[in-house]
Structure 1
Amino acid sequence: MMLAAPVPPAEKAAPRSRLQRVDGAAMVHFGPRGLRDLKQVAPARLLFPDIDAGEFPLVVTVTTSGGLTGGDRLSLHVRIDAEASATVIPQAAEKIYRALPDDPPTRIETRISLGAGSRCEWLAQEAILFDRSRMRRSLDIDMAPDARLLAAEMIVLGRGAMGETFESGLIHDGWRIRRGGRLVWADTLHIDGDVAEIAARPFGFDGAIAVLTMVYAGPDAAAHLELARTLVPAPHGGATCLDGLLIVRMTGPDPRHVRDIALRSAEILRSAVFGLSPRLPSICYC
């Protein structure tokens, strides 16, 4: 006689906010001849500016709500077919506002799927975290063995120019890169609670309020390591290479300075790895 397996208890549902929240989603699909398909659900929108000759097809993502707060969700799926290329850039910094005590975290989910021989730039502008915001952000990349990707994301703790600081909240920021179906890199930053105290520690952020991560994934990653090391100054920056991944990190007390370094690094690396212009699309400099 076979006995039925015990039924596991139902997973507790995430609390619902008492206020209206957004659930935006966008999908964009590129083939060798350009745009193949797209989908957009407010407040997520996609724009397609004109590009200079020789550049990848460009899509600019827009959050029309002007920012996100507790309980809001935003997702983006970028698909690039074999031998196709694309550059994906958010229109502006993403602002993550304070969450109410009973709100679930803000969720930002990005997926990038890359076919054989494809090339992609994902150059996110900074996410500015307001005090008592709670953010869970993920970047999941599934790429063919010979695909190539240059990706950058940045976090800023508080609006320093307005005299604001990030004292407490949740930061959960995770990257996953799979090549040929095999997980080759998993990286997560998780801080919950007294963020200011943790970030001030010498082995935390050592007083930095801006954090940059940039990754180039490609068969020739190791060839660009020495170049990358010239782009991010010590002691707050560095670069390493492993398993076809070039990883660049930087922290700093001045978000504008870190952003300038990020732009300059992206300019030089895109030219070196893709043969593109050393000037980024104009939207990056707004």
Structure 2
Amino acid sequence: MTSMQATTPGGWQAELKLQFEQRMGRSLLARRAHRGPLVVQKPLYPEGDAVCHAIIVHPPGGVVGGDQLSLQVQLASSAHALLTTPGAGKWYKSGGRLASQSLQFEVADGAVLEWLPQENILFDGAEVAWNSRMQLSATAVYAGWDILCFGRQASGEHWQRGVLGQRLTLQREERLLWQERSQLEPDALCMQSVAGLRGCPVVGNFVVAAGAVPAALIDTCREIVPDAGAWHGVSVVQNVLAVRYLGHSASQARRYFEALRQVLRPWYAARAALAPRVWNT
């Protein structure tokens, strides 16, 4: 493992690179390197050797204007890694400087990558750009979710100033499977429109790319619903299963996604859906 601290006048430059391999039935964190305040905790094996759980930690506890976070993950053939975070990501008021996060995941044949972070919270005044790019080999599996809160719901804060740019690209064998782009501001029409976010302060997306999705599984997913007061939807495009949540509670969104994972993981990973221990701390 290598480490080097780096800052710029505009904020922290933080980069974490992880490589997972499968050796004799055990998924290992074979290589890791970090620059700046973005690290990984000791790998855990609550499911046995086949699945490596790793917790991605941003020690400052929050992201401010000018900070740039980069997470690069590679999985070699047949490896299985589950990545999560120890708590909510906090994106503070930016002061006119953009904060950014870049995710770059490469998953080889037969490998399974689960990216299941806890929610991100946009504080009032946050100006944020997120770019996620997933490159999958022919038989690779990716399952990932994101839950976003516009403002601090617990303290009654609303996201009234700022900007959010998001881009998600999912490719298999260089073929584009899924791409989403959005540019949001608090007063944008789509924030309140019934064709947009309906004024909901919490938005969630759960995407699974694991080949053809059985029709019975789609039906089962559609039978699972979040608590009252939320909107949801399940769709499949080019063998990518996408689930949407719109509502008022990050914990509700997580419970909904966890319920879906209970039925989806036996399909995409051939094992029961064990929750990471850090979610219970």
Q: Which amino acid aligns with 2:35?
A: V
Find the residue that maps to 2:268 and give its secondary structure: helix
Q: Give, in whole Å, the separation in 2 of the partners of 1:243 and 1:72.
A: 35
Alignment of 1:13-92 (within 5 A): 21-33=11-23, 34-54=28-48, 56-92=51-87
2:168 paired residue number: 175
Query: RMSD value over aligned CA atoms?
Result: 2.1
Q: 1:227 to 1:22 in 2, by over 3 A?
A: same
The correspondence for 2:197, drawn from 189, 198, 205, is 205
In structure 1, what residue type is equivalent to 2:124?
Answer: D
In the TM superposition, structure 1's runs of 4+ consecutive aligned residues that sit over 4 Å from their partners are 17-20
* 1:7 equivalent in structure 2: none
CA contact (8 A) 1:222 1:245 kept: no
For 1:267 and 1:211, locate their aligned partners in 2 and report how far apart those are by CA, in whole Å: 21
Equivalent AA in structure 2 for residue 170 of structure 1: V
Residue range with higher mean Cα deviation, 226-235 or 69-78: 226-235
> Which residue, out of 102, 106, 128, partners 1:109?
102
1:265: how far off?
A: 2.2
Q: Counterpart in 1 of 2:271? A: 276
Aligned residues with identical type, % of pairs: 23
Provide the secondary structure at the position in 2 that maps to 1:262. helix
The alpha-carbon deviation at position 181 of structure 1 amounts to 0.8
CA deviation map 1:59-114 (0-9, x unaligned): 1100011110111000001100112111111221110000113x2x1110111101
- Give the counterpart of 2:118 among 122, 125, 128: 125
- Corresponding residue for residue 251 of structure 2: 256
SS in 2 for 1:250: strand
CA distance in 2, matches of 1:154, 1:271: 23
Where does residue 3 of structure 2 map in the other structure?
none
Change (3 A) 1:215 1:18: closer
Distance in 2 (alpha carbons) for counterparts of 1:28 and 1:232: 35
Q: 1:165-244 residue pairs with structure 2 within 5 A? A: 165-192=158-185, 194=187, 198-223=190-215, 224-233=217-226, 236-244=231-239
Q: So what's the TM-score if we normalise by structure 1?
A: 0.87
Q: Which residue of 1 aligns with 2:151?
A: 158
Aligned residues: 267
Q: Which has the larger radius of gyration?
A: 1
Structure 1 counterpart of 2:4: none
1:259 CA displacement: 2.3
Of residues 31-40 and 58-67 in structure 1, the stretch that sits farther from structure 2 once superposed is 31-40
- Whichever residue aligns with residue 205 of structure 1, its letter is L
State the distance in 1 between where 2:203 and 2:224 align.
15
Conservation of the 8 A alpha-carbon contact between 1:201 and 1:207: yes
Alpha-carbon distance in 1 for matches of 2:41, 2:277: 14
- Distance in 1 between residues matched to 2:166 and 2:261, nearest whole Å: 21
Residues 1:155 and 1:53: Cα distance change in structure 2 (over 3 Å): closer
For 2:238 and 2:8, the matched residues in 1 are separated by 46
The gaps in structure 2 that reach 5 residues or longer are: 1-6
Q: 1:198 to 1:131 in 2, by over 3 A?
A: farther
